[in-house]
Amino acid sequence: MPSPSRLPTCFAVKTGHTFLFDCGEGAQRQMMKYTISYAKVKAIFFSHLHADHILGIFGLVQSLNLAGRKDELLLFGPKGLKEVVGSVLSTRFLRPDFPIRFTEVSSAKKVYEDALVKVSSFKVRHNVDALGYVLEEQPIHKFYEEKAKGLGIRGRLFREIQEKGFVTVNGKKITLEEVTFLKEGKRLVYSGDTLPCSSTEKAAHEADVLIHESTFSETDVKQAKLKFHSTARQAAELAKKAKAKKLVLVHFSNRYSDLQVLLKEAQEVFPETELAEEGKELLI
């Protein structure tokens, strides 16, 4: 449920393009408020089709339409996404003037890739068909600077060797592989709504950030199981098992007026935990 201080789940990742994971009510207004350009949204990854995770798409699309968007918007989610969202956006008064491409995901797989990032899905345990996502930077070439400079690579030659794969210095050909190594990109994992499950633990192994739902506290663990949600402690236990570097708790029940209860519960198990808050930014 929305509250005076919180709106339903939606978070943005800025890396080249802007990507949204879920799209709760008022998403575009939140982006305006916190100076994230909603016009630059390339793709939206829906974890499942419950209303609190999808209702924001309709307002966002209308705002994009009024702003004159022409670029295609990519929407990813479980089976039924096109029926639910597409049927509304196909009506006469809500149909956008820009293309929307729907991709329905039924299994763990890579769903998106560009020069900078790739996004993969995995199945989670909720009371409807539901997904989690992994966003991972592409590996990048990092220079052995002393070796490169020792071979005469300086100034513009650093750019040239990255573009061509080699340069010639004093008659000698030097390849990119000789003076660089591949550095793995940062990895962010989003659980969506779920009970604790092995697929999330596997996806989050040594992740830089795990964003995991924590709808309930441990005092309401029976309710969490009944509703197919997690407690803050369960999220922390999973992060610890997965050896994640940081845990961010999201998706809080309105029964908790003081979210510090959830934070304390998780930090007792996994100290590198923080709460997702309106407008919070993380540099990964």
Q: What is the DSSP letter of 125?
A: B
What confidence tens digit (pLDDT) does each residue in 169-194 have? 989 999 999 999 988 999 999 999 99
Whether the CB-CB separation of 48 and 131 falls below 8 Å is answered with: yes
Q: What is the average pLDDT score of the chain?
A: 95
Residue where the block lists tokens 């923080």: 274
**Does residue 123 have a pLDDT over 90?**
yes
Rg (CA), the chain: 22
Strands 187-190 and 73-78: unpaired
pLDDT of residue 24: 94
CATH class as words, domain 11-139+184-275: alpha beta
Average pLDDT, stretch 248-277? 96
Residue 6 confidence class, pLDDT cut points 50, 70, 90: confident
Domain boundaries, the chain: 11-139+184-275, 142-181
Per the DSSP assignment, residues forming a β-bridge with 84 are none
Amino acid 242: pLDDT: 98
Tens digits of residue pLDDT in 67-115: 999 999 999 999 999 999 999 999 999 999 999 999 999 989 999 999 9
Strands 41-45 and 17-21 come out as parallel
> How sure is the predictor about 141, in pLDDT bands with cuts at 50, 70 and 90?
confident
Q: Specify the pLDDT at position 142.
A: 87
Neighbours of 41 (CB within 10 A): 23
> How confident is residue 46, by pLDDT bands cut at 50, 70 and 90?
very high
Pick from 70, 78, 34: which is nearest to 53 by CA?
A: 78
Q: How confident is the model at residue 7 (pLDDT cuts 50, 70, 90)?
A: confident
Query: Is the pLDDT at 168 greater than 90, yes or no?
Result: yes
Output the pLDDT for position 2.
Answer: 82
pLDDT at 3 over 90: no
Encode pLDDT of 202-244 as tens digits: 999 999 999 999 999 999 999 999 999 999 999 999 999 999 9
Q: Are 9 and 53 contacting, i.e. CB atoms less than 8 angstroms apart?
A: yes
Q: What is the pLDDT of residue 119?
A: 98
Active-site positions? 52
Question: Residue 5: which pLDDT band, with cuts at 50, 70 and 90?
Answer: confident
